[in-house]
């Protein structure tokens, strides 16, 4: 993939809505087994904690940095939830584009989910 194609791929990632970018990021985490990097919509909190005892949830929140009014959360190295409102600082589109360019299976999965137009990327001329 040349520099122009990589830049166009980065542009496509930057133009995704936040929810689509998080969805693409979760595909990346699942496929490449980077579960420590996974970002979740706040609405997924109940689903992820459905079988956890209330005291354990309270303890994890106490030791994490969690605000239920935020839009997203992930887990720190100890499994405690850390919430935030903005994706900047968590997903770098330039690095993500480079990673997509190196992993054909990831690129194919994101194209199949219609999050990215890889045909347009491939047709981009320098």
Residue 125 pLDDT > 80:
no
**One domain, residues 78 and 96:** no
Residue 60 pLDDT > 80:
yes
Specify which residues 83 forms β-bridges with.
73
**One domain, residues 22 and 32:** yes
Task: Report the distance separating Cα 10 and Cα 12, nearest Å.
Answer: 5
What percent of the chain lies above the pLDDT cut of 70?
Answer: 100
**One domain, residues 73 and 46:** yes
Contact between 16 and 115 under an 8 Å Cβ cutoff? The reply is yes
pLDDT-based confidence at 88, cuts 50/70/90?
confident
End-to-end CA distance of the chain: 10
Contacts of 113 (CB under 8 A, 6+ apart): 23, 24, 27
**One domain, residues 46 and 82:** yes
**One domain, residues 32 and 55:** no
Domain count, the chain: 2
More confident position, 95 or 89:
95
Residue 118 pLDDT > 90:
no
> Average pLDDT of the chain?
93
Q: What is the pTM of this model?
A: 0.86
> Which range of residues forms the domain containing residue 6?
1-39+92-126
**One domain, residues 47 and 35:** no
**One domain, residues 34 and 53:** no
């Amino acid at each position: 993939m040349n520099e122009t194609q990589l830049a166009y791929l980065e542009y496509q990632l930057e133009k995704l809505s936040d929810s689509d970018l998080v969805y693409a990021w979760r595909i990346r985490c699942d496929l490449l087994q980077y579960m420590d990097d996974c970002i979740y919509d706040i609405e997924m909190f109940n689903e992820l904690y459905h079988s956890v005892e209330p005291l354990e949830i309270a303890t994890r929140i106490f030791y994490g940095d969690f605000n239920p009014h935020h839009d997203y959360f992930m887990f720190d190295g100890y499994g405690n939830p850390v919430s935030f409102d903005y994706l900047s600082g968590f997903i770098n589109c330039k690095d993500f584009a480079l990673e997509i360019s190196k992993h054909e299976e990831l690129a194919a999965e994101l194209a199949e989910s219609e999050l990215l137009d890889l045909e347009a990327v491939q047709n981009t001329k320098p």
